[in-house]
Amino acid sequence: MNTPYAPVQEGFRAELEMLIKQRKYVGLLYLTPLRELLSTTAILKELYTGPEAQYVRLSTGEEVRLDWLVSVNERQAPGYDYDDYTCDC
Give the pLDDT confidence score for residue 55 in this predicted structure: 96
- H or E element, residue 5: none
- Give the domain extent around 33: 24-76
* Gyration radius of the chain over CA positions: 12
57, part of any domain: yes
45, part of any domain: yes
28, part of any domain: yes
88, part of any domain: no
Beta-carbon count within 10 A of 28 CB: 22
Number of structural domains found in the chain: 1
Q: What is the DSSP string of 45-88?
A: EEEEE-SSSEEEEETTS-EEEGGGEEEETTEEPTT---S-----
Burial class of residue 49 (count of CB atoms within 10 Å of its CB; 0-12, 13-18, 19+): exposed
Give the pLDDT confidence score for residue 86 in this predicted structure: 58
Per residue of the chain (89 residues), what is the pLDDT tens digit?
578 888 889 999 999 999 999 999 999 999 999 989 999 999 999 999 998 899 999 999 999 999 999 999 988 998 887 665 555 55
